[in-house]
């Protein structure tokens, strides 16, 4: 339990609510060409920048707990940082430490997985996102586990690859497949057989989140577990053929099964062990449920092999999902939401399905459910199930409608919302759609501004990471857009760019300097919001962007 917040002496708060707007995937671009935020028509954002205190916040790398500043931020760690007010070592860093120290392999879960395979002379399966994007997984973690499995006597390894094209280049799959096949060939020999067994695009199979599209998980289950689907002699053949036939980028490629002499090489059987090697939780929970839950209403699993299943990390600390995991996730405590509840303040969290879990679960330190249901309201607007470039406005209007009602109601002290458009549409790589996505958010900001004016509230506008601000690949030395096959090379991954922090305070009395504190990260948003609510932030929270005048 946390203690009530102490009232600030320098700031009494406003008569209306503090509204935290998270423009997911909207950063400050480094390059003019390829910046859909800069090229979009955004009169509201432009007005805020010209008339309100604002600064840039770091939203990637060490500023959000990742191993290095070469690591792009993501929505999970971004919302963790915003909601916790501090920086915790995150997924990739924790797994790196666990592997380097040997702690992973000394743990009970790893020992049991290996012992199960050795005792049953069965296969150890690895399933996960196949890249070095370092957002959901890293291929180096996979390689380290395969090497260790061989050293500990596992004879058969099968790898089920989810192609990325989202946190890495959109058509980079073979840049990972070919070296990995060579890596396996170097390990294979008498007494050890490791192969790629199945695969498909991450936005086509397996990696759904927030129960938005269980058919994705159903397709993944059929592919990885049952080995049902179109067969190919190799992963390279599958990628080349499917790409030629459909024109799809990696994240959207159809499922495939690797076969030899007409027989799948990696069907999961009774007595096998399975590791889902993604460390990030949101796109891991549904496939985990398919493996672990006895009562499972989402689709007919058919044959359900008796396997020993484990995740890379614990994906939900409250529900203890999965039952077995290799690396303990960060223990995030004393979140902004906990302090707000302890102080008796009423709050609202809202987004559409694609980011609902981010303004609730991740914002609350990887904890499911309410902290205090009597003080909190959570609203999920169901997302459309279709490619985001086809409807780039997403549910911006519907989210805004609910926010306007909440602001006008006078019920809430603190409102937090996420507009997913800049991120989800940015990931498609469709530049025109990304512009519309950003323009949609701008229209929504204009509506919220009017409501905040009427209520006498404050609006804090920021983001969890960049994306739509960097839609093309650029040459490192010159900054020129990369050209591939005569076309500009599209970038679908997050950017390494800073994000906005704008404070719109229409009834401000000059209590803080118009020049916001520079050089901070998005973890400082928590202290900022608490200050604007009229309270001092906890002493160990990262500093607020507000500098008191007196």
From the number of C-beta atoms within 10 Å of its C-beta (0-12, 13-18, 19+), residue 181 rates as middle
263: Cβ–Cβ under 8 A, 6 or more apart, which residues?
Answer: none
Angle, alpha carbons 309-311-313 (nearest 5°): 150
Residue 258 has φ and ψ, to the nearest 5°, of -90, 130
State the maximum Cα–Cα separation within the chain, in Å, rounded to a whole number. Answer: 79
- Known catalytic residue: 75? yes
Given the residues 39, 68, 75, 524, select the one marked as catalytic. Answer: 75
| Torsion from C-alpha of 323, 328, 333, 336, nearest 10 degrees | -80
Rounded Cα–Cα distance for residues 126 and 133 (Å): 17
Beta-bridge mates of residue 327: 313
Rounded Cα–Cα distance for residues 26 and 75 (Å): 12
> At 339, is the secondary structure helix, strand, or coil?
helix
Tokens coding 206: 């397996």
Backbone dihedral region of 34: left (phi > 0), alpha (psi from -120 to 50 degrees) or beta? left
CA count, 13 A, side-chain hemisphere, 109? 20
> At 115, is the secondary structure helix, strand, or coil?
helix
Supply the residues annotated as catalytic.
Answer: 75
């Amino acid at each position: 339990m946390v203690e009530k917040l102490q009232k600030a002496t320098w700031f009494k708060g406003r008569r209306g609510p503090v509204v935290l707007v998270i423009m997911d995937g909207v950063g400050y671009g480094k390059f003019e060409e390829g910046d859909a935020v800069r090229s979009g028509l955004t009169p509201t954002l432009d007005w805020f920048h010209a008339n309100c205190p604002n600064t840039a916040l770091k939203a990637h790398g060490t500023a959000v707990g990742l191993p290095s500043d070469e690591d792009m931020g993501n929505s999970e760690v971004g919302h963790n940082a915003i909601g916790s007010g501090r920086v915790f070592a995150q997924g990739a860093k924790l797994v790196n430490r666990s592997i380097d120290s040997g702690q992973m392999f000394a743990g009970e879960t790893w020992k049991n997985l290996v012992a199960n395979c050795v005792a049953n002379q069965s296969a150890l399966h690895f399933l996960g996102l196949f890249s070095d994007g370092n957002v959901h997984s890293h291929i180096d973690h996979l390689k380290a586990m395969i090497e260790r499995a061989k050293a500990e006597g596992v004879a058969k390894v099968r790898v089920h690859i989810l192609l990325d094209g989202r946190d890495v280049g959109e058509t980079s799959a073979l840049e990972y497949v070919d070296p990995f096949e060579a890596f396996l060939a170097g390990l294979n020999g008498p007494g050890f057989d490791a192969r790629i067994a199945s695969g498909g695009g991450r936005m086509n199979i397996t990696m759904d989140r927030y129960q938005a599209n269980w058919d994705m998980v159903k397709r993944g289950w059929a592919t990885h577990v049952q080995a049902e689907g179109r067969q190919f002699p190799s992963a390279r053949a599958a990628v080349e053929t499917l790409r030629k036939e459909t024109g799809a980028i990696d994240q959207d490629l159809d499922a495939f099964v690797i076969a030899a002499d007409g027989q799948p090489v990696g069907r999961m059987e009774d007595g096998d062990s399975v590791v889902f090697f993604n460390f990030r939780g949101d796109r891991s929970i549904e496939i985990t449920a398919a493996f672990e839950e006895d009562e499972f209403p989402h689709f007919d699993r058919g044959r359900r092999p008796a396997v020993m299943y484990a995740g890379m990390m614990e994906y939900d600390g409250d529900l203890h999902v999965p039952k077995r995991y290799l690396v303990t996730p960060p223990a995030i405590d004393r979140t902004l939401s906990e302090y707000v509840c302890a102080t008796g303040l009423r709050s609202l969290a809202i987004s559409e399905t694609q980011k609902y879990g981010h303004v609730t679960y991740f914002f609350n330190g990887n904890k499911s459910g309410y902290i205090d249901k009597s003080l909190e309201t959570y609203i999920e607007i169901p997302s459309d199930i279709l490619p985001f470039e086809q409807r780039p406005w997403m549910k911006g209007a519907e989210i805004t409608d609910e926010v306007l009602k909440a602001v006008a109601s006078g019920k809430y002290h603190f409102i937090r919302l996420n507009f997913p458009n800049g991120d989800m549409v940015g990931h498609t790589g469709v530049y025109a759609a990304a512009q519309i996505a950003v323009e949609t958010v701008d229209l929504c900001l204009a509506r919220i501004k009017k409501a905040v004016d009427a209520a006498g509230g404050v609006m804090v506008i920021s983001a969890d990471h960049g994306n739509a601000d960097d839609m093309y690949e650029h040459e490192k030395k010159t900054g020129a857009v990369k050209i591939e096959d005569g076309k500009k090379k599209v970038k679908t991954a997050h950017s390494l760019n800073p994000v906005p922090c704008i404070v719109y305070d229409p009834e401000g009395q000059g209590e803080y300097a118009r020049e916001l504190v520079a050089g901070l990260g998005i973890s400082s948003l928590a202290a900022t919001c608490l200050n604007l609510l009229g309270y001092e932030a906890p002493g160990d929270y990262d500093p607020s962007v507000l500098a008191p005048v007196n």
